[in-house]
Structure 1
Amino acid sequence: MKDILNPSDPRVIRTRNLIVDAFAYLLKIKDFNSITINDITNKATINRTTFYAHFPDKYALIDGYLSNSFIEFVYRRVESNATLNEETIKNIVISLCEFHEASNKRCMKSYDSISPHLEKNTKIQLENFLSQLLTKSCTESARRSLDLAITMLTWSIYGVTYRWNMDGRIESPQVLAEKILPMLKGYLEHKIN
Protein backbone atom coordinates (compact mmCIF):
# COMPACT_ATOMS: atom_id res chain seq x y z
CA MET A 1 0.00 0.00 0.00
CA LYS A 2 2.90 2.37 0.74
CA ASP A 3 3.98 2.26 -2.91
CA ILE A 4 0.72 3.82 -4.10
CA LEU A 5 0.94 6.90 -1.86
CA ASN A 6 1.73 10.06 -3.75
CA PRO A 7 4.31 11.90 -1.59
CA SER A 8 3.24 15.28 -3.00
CA ASP A 9 -0.47 14.73 -2.28
CA PRO A 10 -1.50 17.24 0.43
CA ARG A 11 -3.48 14.53 2.27
CA VAL A 12 -0.44 12.27 2.38
CA ILE A 13 1.73 15.13 3.61
CA ARG A 14 -0.82 16.11 6.24
CA THR A 15 -1.16 12.51 7.49
CA ARG A 16 2.59 11.99 7.57
CA ASN A 17 2.96 15.23 9.55
CA LEU A 18 0.27 14.04 12.00
CA ILE A 19 2.24 10.82 12.55
CA VAL A 20 5.58 12.59 12.97
CA ASP A 21 4.09 15.25 15.29
CA ALA A 22 2.42 12.58 17.43
CA PHE A 23 5.69 10.67 17.59
CA ALA A 24 7.66 13.81 18.52
CA TYR A 25 5.18 14.53 21.30
CA LEU A 26 5.42 10.96 22.62
CA LEU A 27 9.24 11.11 22.61
CA LYS A 28 9.01 13.98 25.10
CA ILE A 29 6.89 12.05 27.58
CA LYS A 30 7.79 8.38 27.01
CA ASP A 31 10.85 6.28 26.43
CA PHE A 32 11.21 5.28 22.76
CA ASN A 33 11.22 1.58 23.63
CA SER A 34 7.84 1.88 25.38
CA ILE A 35 6.13 3.82 22.57
CA THR A 36 3.78 1.55 20.64
CA ILE A 37 2.18 1.91 17.24
CA ASN A 38 -1.12 2.14 19.10
CA ASP A 39 0.22 5.13 21.09
CA ILE A 40 1.23 6.85 17.86
CA THR A 41 -2.01 6.15 16.03
CA ASN A 42 -4.13 7.27 18.99
CA LYS A 43 -2.22 10.52 19.33
CA ALA A 44 -2.27 11.13 15.56
CA THR A 45 -6.00 10.18 15.38
CA ILE A 46 -5.42 7.69 12.57
CA ASN A 47 -5.79 3.93 12.29
CA ARG A 48 -3.01 1.33 12.16
CA THR A 49 -3.50 0.71 8.45
CA THR A 50 -2.87 4.38 7.74
CA PHE A 51 0.27 4.31 9.89
CA TYR A 52 1.59 1.25 8.03
CA ALA A 53 0.86 2.90 4.69
CA HIS A 54 3.46 5.51 5.67
CA PHE A 55 5.94 3.57 7.82
CA PRO A 56 6.64 -0.16 8.16
CA ASP A 57 7.34 0.21 11.91
CA LYS A 58 8.42 2.68 14.58
CA TYR A 59 12.09 2.13 13.70
CA ALA A 60 11.50 3.43 10.17
CA LEU A 61 9.62 6.33 11.76
CA ILE A 62 12.54 7.22 14.05
CA ASP A 63 14.93 6.96 11.09
CA GLY A 64 12.69 9.27 9.07
CA TYR A 65 12.33 11.63 12.00
CA LEU A 66 16.10 11.88 12.41
CA SER A 67 17.12 11.53 8.77
CA ASN A 68 18.13 15.09 7.90
CA SER A 69 18.02 16.81 11.24
CA PHE A 70 21.78 16.90 11.85
CA ILE A 71 22.72 18.15 8.40
CA GLU A 72 20.32 21.09 8.86
CA PHE A 73 22.45 22.19 11.82
CA VAL A 74 25.62 21.88 9.70
CA TYR A 75 24.24 24.00 6.87
CA ARG A 76 23.50 26.80 9.33
CA ARG A 77 27.25 27.14 9.97
CA VAL A 78 29.04 25.67 6.94
CA GLU A 79 28.74 27.09 3.43
CA SER A 80 27.64 24.58 0.80
CA ASN A 81 30.78 25.27 -1.24
CA ALA A 82 33.18 24.92 1.72
CA THR A 83 36.28 22.75 1.68
CA LEU A 84 37.67 20.80 4.61
CA ASN A 85 39.81 23.18 6.66
CA GLU A 86 40.19 24.17 10.32
CA GLU A 87 37.26 26.59 10.26
CA THR A 88 34.97 24.00 8.65
CA ILE A 89 35.92 21.35 11.21
CA LYS A 90 35.33 23.83 14.01
CA ASN A 91 31.88 24.64 12.64
CA ILE A 92 31.03 20.96 12.20
CA VAL A 93 31.95 20.27 15.83
CA ILE A 94 29.86 23.23 17.02
CA SER A 95 26.96 22.09 14.81
CA LEU A 96 27.10 18.60 16.24
CA CYS A 97 27.18 19.94 19.79
CA GLU A 98 24.13 22.09 19.05
CA PHE A 99 22.42 19.09 17.47
CA HIS A 100 23.04 16.91 20.55
CA GLU A 101 21.72 19.67 22.78
CA ALA A 102 18.58 20.17 20.66
CA SER A 103 18.00 16.40 20.43
CA ASN A 104 18.24 16.16 24.19
CA LYS A 105 15.54 18.81 24.53
CA ARG A 106 13.32 17.32 21.79
CA CYS A 107 13.43 13.82 23.25
CA MET A 108 13.69 14.42 26.98
CA LYS A 109 12.35 11.03 28.08
CA SER A 110 13.85 9.10 25.19
CA TYR A 111 17.33 10.44 24.59
CA ASP A 112 19.11 7.37 25.93
CA SER A 113 16.85 4.96 24.07
CA ILE A 114 17.04 6.80 20.75
CA SER A 115 20.76 7.54 20.92
CA PRO A 116 21.69 4.41 18.91
CA HIS A 117 19.35 5.55 16.12
CA LEU A 118 20.56 9.12 16.48
CA GLU A 119 24.17 7.95 16.26
CA LYS A 120 23.57 5.81 13.17
CA ASN A 121 21.74 8.58 11.29
CA THR A 122 24.15 11.30 12.33
CA LYS A 123 27.24 9.30 11.39
CA ILE A 124 25.79 8.57 7.95
CA GLN A 125 25.03 12.25 7.37
CA LEU A 126 28.41 13.37 8.72
CA GLU A 127 30.28 10.77 6.69
CA ASN A 128 28.50 11.86 3.49
CA PHE A 129 29.16 15.50 4.23
CA LEU A 130 32.86 14.94 5.00
CA SER A 131 33.18 12.83 1.87
CA GLN A 132 31.84 15.73 -0.21
CA LEU A 133 34.26 18.14 1.46
CA LEU A 134 37.29 15.89 1.14
CA THR A 135 36.75 15.02 -2.48
CA LYS A 136 36.75 18.75 -3.25
CA SER A 137 40.15 19.24 -1.63
CA CYS A 138 42.21 16.28 -2.80
CA THR A 139 43.63 14.79 -5.97
CA GLU A 140 41.93 12.03 -7.97
CA SER A 141 44.45 9.40 -6.82
CA ALA A 142 43.93 10.34 -3.17
CA ARG A 143 40.14 9.93 -3.42
CA ARG A 144 40.42 6.17 -3.54
CA SER A 145 42.06 6.00 -0.11
CA LEU A 146 39.69 8.39 1.66
CA ASP A 147 37.09 5.96 3.02
CA LEU A 148 39.10 4.96 6.08
CA ALA A 149 40.09 8.55 6.81
CA ILE A 150 36.48 9.74 6.50
CA THR A 151 35.31 7.01 8.86
CA MET A 152 38.00 7.90 11.41
CA LEU A 153 37.16 11.60 11.26
CA THR A 154 33.41 10.92 11.48
CA TRP A 155 33.69 8.65 14.49
CA SER A 156 36.17 10.96 16.22
CA ILE A 157 34.02 14.04 15.88
CA TYR A 158 30.83 12.19 16.77
CA GLY A 159 32.44 10.46 19.75
CA VAL A 160 33.89 13.62 21.25
CA THR A 161 30.64 15.56 20.89
CA TYR A 162 28.55 12.67 22.20
CA ARG A 163 30.80 12.43 25.29
CA TRP A 164 30.57 16.22 25.71
CA ASN A 165 26.79 15.96 25.72
CA MET A 166 26.65 12.97 28.10
CA ASP A 167 29.09 14.66 30.50
CA GLY A 168 26.74 17.59 30.91
CA ARG A 169 28.01 20.06 28.30
CA ILE A 170 30.33 21.74 30.82
CA GLU A 171 32.16 23.85 28.26
CA SER A 172 30.75 25.71 25.29
CA PRO A 173 30.75 24.08 21.84
CA GLN A 174 33.27 26.70 20.72
CA VAL A 175 35.70 25.77 23.52
CA LEU A 176 35.32 22.07 22.73
CA ALA A 177 35.97 22.74 19.03
CA GLU A 178 39.11 24.73 19.90
CA LYS A 179 40.33 21.89 22.15
CA ILE A 180 40.03 19.12 19.56
CA LEU A 181 41.20 21.11 16.54
CA PRO A 182 44.94 20.71 17.33
CA MET A 183 44.42 16.93 17.46
CA LEU A 184 42.98 17.00 13.96
CA LYS A 185 45.31 19.64 12.54
CA GLY A 186 47.97 17.24 11.33
CA TYR A 187 45.35 15.16 9.60
CA LEU A 188 43.89 18.23 7.92
CA GLU A 189 47.26 19.48 6.69
CA HIS A 190 48.08 16.06 5.27
CA LYS A 191 44.76 15.54 3.50
CA ILE A 192 44.33 19.05 2.12
CA ASN A 193 47.77 19.24 0.53
Structure 2
Amino acid sequence: MPVNPNDPRVKRTRQLLLQSFMELIEQKKNIYSISVQDITDRATVNRATFYAHFEDKYAFLECWMRQKFQRKLARELPNNSISNMSSLRSLIQIVFDFLALTRQYMIRTPENSPYEPLFESAIHKELYQLLFTWLSEEAKTPEAKKAVEPTALLISWGILGTAIQWSRDPQHRSGEEMVQEMLVVVAAGLAPVLEEPQKDAR
Protein backbone atom coordinates (compact mmCIF):
# COMPACT_ATOMS: atom_id res chain seq x y z
CA MET A 1 0.00 0.00 0.00
CA PRO A 2 1.53 3.36 -1.04
CA VAL A 3 2.39 5.75 1.77
CA ASN A 4 0.84 9.21 2.01
CA PRO A 5 3.69 11.71 1.41
CA ASN A 6 1.77 14.38 3.34
CA ASP A 7 1.54 12.27 6.50
CA PRO A 8 3.87 13.80 9.15
CA ARG A 9 5.09 10.33 10.12
CA VAL A 10 6.00 9.60 6.51
CA LYS A 11 7.85 12.91 6.24
CA ARG A 12 9.80 12.14 9.41
CA THR A 13 10.77 8.68 8.20
CA ARG A 14 11.88 10.00 4.82
CA GLN A 15 13.97 12.69 6.47
CA LEU A 16 15.50 10.11 8.80
CA LEU A 17 16.54 7.99 5.82
CA LEU A 18 17.91 11.00 3.93
CA GLN A 19 19.78 12.27 6.99
CA SER A 20 21.28 8.82 7.56
CA PHE A 21 22.44 8.81 3.96
CA MET A 22 24.09 12.21 4.40
CA GLU A 23 25.96 10.97 7.47
CA LEU A 24 27.19 7.95 5.51
CA ILE A 25 28.39 10.19 2.68
CA GLU A 26 30.48 12.20 5.12
CA GLN A 27 32.08 8.95 6.28
CA LYS A 28 32.57 7.16 2.96
CA LYS A 29 32.95 10.17 0.62
CA ASN A 30 31.38 8.10 -2.14
CA ILE A 31 27.67 8.03 -2.99
CA TYR A 32 27.80 4.83 -4.98
CA SER A 33 29.32 2.55 -2.35
CA ILE A 34 26.41 3.11 0.07
CA SER A 35 23.83 0.32 -0.02
CA VAL A 36 20.18 0.28 1.04
CA GLN A 37 21.24 -1.93 3.94
CA ASP A 38 23.79 0.69 5.03
CA ILE A 39 21.07 3.36 5.03
CA THR A 40 18.50 1.31 6.94
CA ASP A 41 21.08 0.17 9.50
CA ARG A 42 22.10 3.77 10.10
CA ALA A 43 18.47 4.90 10.37
CA THR A 44 17.59 1.89 12.56
CA VAL A 45 14.66 0.89 10.36
CA ASN A 46 14.13 -2.29 8.36
CA ARG A 47 14.41 -2.66 4.60
CA ALA A 48 10.64 -3.03 4.27
CA THR A 49 10.27 0.50 5.65
CA PHE A 50 12.73 1.81 3.08
CA TYR A 51 10.86 0.19 0.19
CA ALA A 52 7.54 1.46 1.50
CA HIS A 53 8.87 4.98 0.93
CA PHE A 54 11.08 4.52 -2.13
CA GLU A 55 10.71 2.14 -5.05
CA ASP A 56 14.44 1.42 -5.12
CA LYS A 57 17.83 2.99 -4.55
CA TYR A 58 17.52 4.96 -7.78
CA ALA A 59 14.31 6.64 -6.59
CA PHE A 60 15.92 7.37 -3.23
CA LEU A 61 19.00 8.96 -4.80
CA GLU A 62 16.90 11.08 -7.15
CA CYS A 63 14.87 12.33 -4.18
CA TRP A 64 18.05 13.08 -2.24
CA MET A 65 19.66 15.00 -5.10
CA ARG A 66 16.52 16.99 -5.89
CA GLN A 67 15.98 17.91 -2.25
CA LYS A 68 19.61 18.93 -1.86
CA PHE A 69 19.38 21.17 -4.93
CA GLN A 70 16.04 22.64 -3.78
CA ARG A 71 17.59 23.62 -0.47
CA LYS A 72 20.50 25.35 -2.15
CA LEU A 73 18.08 27.26 -4.37
CA ALA A 74 16.01 28.28 -1.35
CA ARG A 75 19.14 29.59 0.41
CA GLU A 76 20.82 31.39 -2.48
CA LEU A 77 18.25 32.34 -5.14
CA PRO A 78 16.31 35.50 -4.18
CA ASN A 79 12.65 34.57 -3.58
CA ASN A 80 13.52 31.12 -4.98
CA SER A 81 12.53 32.36 -8.44
CA ILE A 82 13.85 34.15 -11.53
CA SER A 83 12.68 37.72 -12.12
CA ASN A 84 15.43 39.30 -14.23
CA MET A 85 18.88 38.74 -15.72
CA SER A 86 20.53 39.25 -12.34
CA SER A 87 18.60 36.40 -10.74
CA LEU A 88 19.21 34.30 -13.85
CA ARG A 89 22.92 34.81 -13.35
CA SER A 90 22.52 33.73 -9.72
CA LEU A 91 20.77 30.58 -10.89
CA ILE A 92 23.57 29.70 -13.31
CA GLN A 93 26.14 30.29 -10.55
CA ILE A 94 24.18 28.03 -8.19
CA VAL A 95 24.16 25.20 -10.75
CA PHE A 96 27.93 25.45 -11.28
CA ASP A 97 28.61 25.64 -7.53
CA PHE A 98 26.27 22.76 -6.77
CA LEU A 99 27.87 20.42 -9.29
CA ALA A 100 31.35 21.35 -8.08
CA LEU A 101 30.25 20.56 -4.52
CA THR A 102 28.61 17.21 -5.27
CA ARG A 103 31.25 16.04 -7.76
CA GLN A 104 33.60 15.19 -4.89
CA TYR A 105 31.25 12.38 -3.87
CA MET A 106 30.80 11.00 -7.39
CA ILE A 107 33.71 8.74 -8.26
CA ARG A 108 33.20 7.82 -11.92
CA THR A 109 33.47 4.12 -12.71
CA PRO A 110 31.61 1.90 -15.21
CA GLU A 111 29.57 0.51 -12.30
CA ASN A 112 28.47 3.97 -11.24
CA SER A 113 27.60 5.34 -14.68
CA PRO A 114 23.83 4.60 -14.42
CA TYR A 115 23.53 7.09 -11.56
CA GLU A 116 24.76 10.20 -13.36
CA PRO A 117 21.74 10.55 -15.70
CA LEU A 118 19.54 10.13 -12.64
CA PHE A 119 21.18 13.05 -10.86
CA GLU A 120 21.18 15.16 -14.00
CA SER A 121 17.45 14.55 -14.42
CA ALA A 122 16.74 15.53 -10.80
CA ILE A 123 18.58 18.84 -11.18
CA HIS A 124 17.11 19.50 -14.61
CA LYS A 125 13.53 19.19 -13.37
CA GLU A 126 14.06 22.05 -10.93
CA LEU A 127 16.02 24.14 -13.41
CA TYR A 128 13.45 23.71 -16.17
CA GLN A 129 10.53 24.55 -13.88
CA LEU A 130 12.14 27.79 -12.71
CA LEU A 131 12.85 28.89 -16.28
CA PHE A 132 9.43 27.82 -17.56
CA THR A 133 7.64 29.75 -14.80
CA TRP A 134 9.65 32.92 -15.44
CA LEU A 135 9.34 32.80 -19.22
CA SER A 136 5.61 32.09 -19.01
CA GLU A 137 5.21 35.30 -17.02
CA GLU A 138 7.38 37.31 -19.41
CA ALA A 139 5.92 36.11 -22.71
CA LYS A 140 3.54 38.77 -24.05
CA THR A 141 2.81 37.83 -27.66
CA PRO A 142 1.30 34.62 -29.08
CA GLU A 143 4.61 33.82 -30.75
CA ALA A 144 6.50 34.32 -27.50
CA LYS A 145 4.06 32.15 -25.55
CA LYS A 146 4.49 29.37 -28.09
CA ALA A 147 8.26 29.56 -27.68
CA VAL A 148 8.24 29.29 -23.87
CA GLU A 149 8.46 25.51 -23.52
CA PRO A 150 11.15 24.82 -26.16
CA THR A 151 13.17 27.80 -24.94
CA ALA A 152 13.01 26.65 -21.31
CA LEU A 153 14.10 23.15 -22.38
CA LEU A 154 16.96 24.44 -24.53
CA ILE A 155 18.26 26.88 -21.94
CA SER A 156 17.93 24.51 -18.97
CA TRP A 157 19.80 21.69 -20.71
CA GLY A 158 22.37 24.18 -22.02
CA ILE A 159 23.13 25.47 -18.52
CA LEU A 160 23.19 22.01 -16.96
CA GLY A 161 25.20 20.36 -19.73
CA THR A 162 27.85 23.06 -19.65
CA ALA A 163 28.09 22.91 -15.86
CA ILE A 164 28.40 19.12 -15.91
CA GLN A 165 31.25 19.21 -18.43
CA TRP A 166 33.03 21.93 -16.47
CA SER A 167 32.63 20.10 -13.14
CA ARG A 168 34.44 17.07 -14.57
CA ASP A 169 37.54 19.13 -15.34
CA PRO A 170 37.34 22.57 -13.69
CA GLN A 171 41.08 23.30 -13.73
CA HIS A 172 41.15 24.87 -17.20
CA ARG A 173 38.49 27.56 -16.61
CA SER A 174 37.25 29.22 -13.44
CA GLY A 175 33.61 28.81 -12.50
CA GLU A 176 33.16 32.59 -12.51
CA GLU A 177 34.46 32.85 -16.06
CA MET A 178 32.22 30.03 -17.25
CA VAL A 179 29.15 31.52 -15.59
CA GLN A 180 29.70 34.90 -17.24
CA GLU A 181 30.15 33.36 -20.68
CA MET A 182 27.13 31.13 -20.16
CA LEU A 183 25.00 34.14 -19.23
CA VAL A 184 25.82 35.86 -22.52
CA VAL A 185 24.82 32.75 -24.48
CA VAL A 186 21.65 32.27 -22.43
CA ALA A 187 20.63 35.91 -22.87
CA ALA A 188 20.77 35.45 -26.64
CA GLY A 189 18.78 32.23 -26.40
CA LEU A 190 15.97 34.00 -24.55
CA ALA A 191 15.27 36.32 -27.48
CA PRO A 192 12.32 34.27 -28.87
CA VAL A 193 10.40 34.82 -25.62
CA LEU A 194 11.46 38.15 -24.14
CA GLU A 195 10.01 41.19 -25.87
CA GLU A 196 13.09 43.22 -25.12
CA PRO A 197 15.93 40.71 -24.65
CA GLN A 198 18.93 41.91 -22.71
CA LYS A 199 21.48 43.26 -25.18
CA ASP A 200 24.42 43.14 -22.80
CA ALA A 201 24.37 40.49 -20.07
CA ARG A 202 27.44 41.91 -18.38
Q: Secondary structure at the match of 2:55?
A: coil
Aligned to 1:159: 161
Are the equivalent residues in 2 in contact too, given 1:27–1:108 (CA < 8 A)? no
Q: For structure 1, which segment, 64-73 or 126-135, has the greater mean C-alpha deviation from structure 2 after superposition?
A: 64-73
Deviation at 1:108, TM superposition (A): 5.0
Are the equivalent residues in 2 in contact too, given 1:2–1:53 (CA < 8 A)? yes
Deviation at 1:51, TM superposition (A): 1.6
Aligned to 2:38: 39
Alignment partners' CA distance in 2, 1:30 and 1:91: 28
Select which of 157, 182, 198 maps to 1:180. 182
Deviation at 1:174, TM superposition (A): 2.5
Aligned to 2:116: 115
Are the equivalent residues in 2 in contact too, given 1:84–1:188 (CA < 8 A)? no
Aligned to 1:127: 128
Q: TM-score, normalised by structure 2?
A: 0.78
Deviation at 1:127, TM superposition (A): 0.6
Q: Secondary structure at the match of 2:193?
A: helix
Deviation at 1:178, TM superposition (A): 1.3
Are the equivalent residues in 2 in contact too, given 1:41–1:48 (CA < 8 A)? yes
Aligned to 1:191: 193
Are the equivalent residues in 2 in contact too, given 1:84–1:192 (CA < 8 A)? no
Quickly say closer, same or farther: Cα 1:72–1:60, change in 2 above 3 A.
same
Segments of structure 1 that go 5 or more residues without pairing to the other structure are none
Deviation at 1:187, TM superposition (A): 2.4
Select which of 17, 20, 27 maps to 1:19. 17
Deviation at 1:170, TM superposition (A): 4.6
Are the equivalent residues in 2 in contact too, given 1:22–1:43 (CA < 8 A)? yes
Alignment partners' CA distance in 1, 2:30 and 2:175: 27
Quickly say closer, same or farther: Cα 1:2–1:135, change in 2 above 3 A.
same
Percent identity of paired positions between Structure 1 and Structure 2: 25
Are the equivalent residues in 2 in contact too, given 1:131–1:150 (CA < 8 A)? yes
Alignment partners' CA distance in 1, 2:81 and 2:66: 22
The structure where helix makes up a greater share of residues is 1
Deviation at 1:45, TM superposition (A): 1.8
What is the count of residue pairs matched by the alignment? 189
Q: Secondary structure at the match of 1:183?
A: helix
Deviation at 1:81, TM superposition (A): 5.8
Alignment partners' CA distance in 2, 1:125 and 1:25: 25
Aligned to 2:149: 147
Are the equivalent residues in 1 in contact too, given 2:155–2:189 (CA < 8 A)? no
Q: Which runs of 4+ in 1 moved over 6 A?
A: none
Segments of structure 2 that go 5 or more residues without pairing to the other structure are 196-202
CA RMSD of aligned residues (A): 2.8
Deviation at 1:21, TM superposition (A): 2.2
Are the equivalent residues in 1 in contact too, given 2:103–2:168 (CA < 8 A)? no
Higher relative contact order (CA 8 A, sep 6+): 1
Q: For structure 1, which segment, 93-102 or 64-73, has the greater mean C-alpha deviation from structure 2 after superposition?
A: 64-73
Q: TM-score, normalised by structure 1?
A: 0.81
